Amino acid sequence: MVHQSTSKRKTIITIIFLMFLLALVVAFTTFAILKLLNPPVKTDDTTEPEEIIIEEPEEPEPIQEINFQPIVDDWVNTVDGNKGIMIYDLDLGKIAGAYNTEAKFQTASLYKLFVVYEGYRRLQNGTWSRDDVAGWTRKTIPECLDLAIRESNSPCAETLWNMIGHDELNWIVQNDFGLPDVYVNGLSATTTEIMFIMKRFYEHPDITDEDLVAQMEDSFLNQPITTYDWRQGLPSGFSDRVNVYNKVGWNFNGSYWTIYDDASILDFVNEERHFIVVIMTNNIHFRLIKQFGTDLESSFYHQYVLKN
């Protein structure tokens, strides 16, 4: 009886041990299978962040330089009479053609450029009111400023000049406008000095009111045919591809033009190119100045087409 019990006990222990081993095998096998079915996600701490590409802005097309000097030289050499020419490239800030630029010429009605610009400054800063009447003219100050350019109205210009004061305007032109050798009373200036007042009109740094700027531009661009056509000289030489903002001054003695001056801002609209042209002459017919305008336009497009 004792022997049988001991043997039976050993058998039971063996079975339990085997079952324990079997359980371990099953557990390890299950773990291995699960690991194979669900591999760990590999992480790479050394992965570089995604590169951010910043596109550089495109550089603007360089502005094409236009050389008008050959046209100036040809015209000067074929036309008799006293003349001075200044052509200034507004986009490049440099002279594009010139002749006799330091000589003083009679300004005729170009003196009105100085009067009118100061008048617009005074409307802008409130020194003058837009409802004020310009002296005995029975016109408002804005109306007189417009007519002084559009129709070269002398009563308006002279009244405004008196309102500013002759000495005062000289001081303003010499100090504020930076033209120390200009005395408006003397009615004389160089083509360079006239170029600078036209440049001031173009940039109008101290005239920001949109209505004033629009009126100023329109009076230079749209001028009527009167006893004399205010655009019979330089502007009439250009086609409608060019906007010509112009102020003319002349004296006709009944036989010939003792003075003929044109001060213009040229806007080649489609090409977005801008120039100031000042031509001041004695004893030269306006038709020759008209031809100069035609030659300038032809030269511009010839150079522009060749480049592009």
Q: Is residue 23 part of a domain?
A: no
What's the pLDDT tens digit per position in 89-132? Answer: 999 999 999 999 999 999 999 999 999 999 999 999 999 999 99
Q: Which two tokens stand for residue 68?
A: 């008008």
Inter-residue contact 302 to 286 (CB < 8 Å): no
Q: Is residue 32 part of a domain?
A: no
pLDDT at 18: 63
Stretches where the chain sits below pLDDT 50 are 1-4
* CB-based contacts of 209, cutoff 8 Å, min separation 6: 123, 124
pLDDT at 174: 97
Q: Is residue 22 part of a domain?
A: no
Inter-residue contact 305 to 268 (CB < 8 Å): no
pLDDT at 7: 61
Q: Is residue 301 part of a domain?
A: yes
* CB-based contacts of 142, cutoff 8 Å, min separation 6: 123, 130, 212, 215
Q: Is residue 1 part of a domain?
A: no
Task: Round to whole Å and give the CA distance between 193 and 179.
Answer: 7
Q: Is residue 162 part of a domain?
A: yes
Closest CA to 79 of 257, 301, 266, 264: 257
Would you tell me the crossing angle of helices 210-221 and 112-125 to the nearest 10 degrees? 160
Q: What is the pairing mode between strands 105-106 and 242-252?
A: unpaired
Closest CA to 230 of 207, 214, 246: 246
CATH number at residue 255: 3.40.710.10
Q: Is residue 18 part of a domain?
A: no
Q: What is the pTM of this model?
A: 0.81
The parent domain of residue 195 ranges over 69-307
Inter-residue contact 291 to 74 (CB < 8 Å): no
Q: Is residue 54 part of a domain?
A: no
pLDDT at 60: 74
Q: How many helices (H) and strands (E) does the chain have?
A: 9, 7
pLDDT at 6: 57
Number of domains in the chain: 1
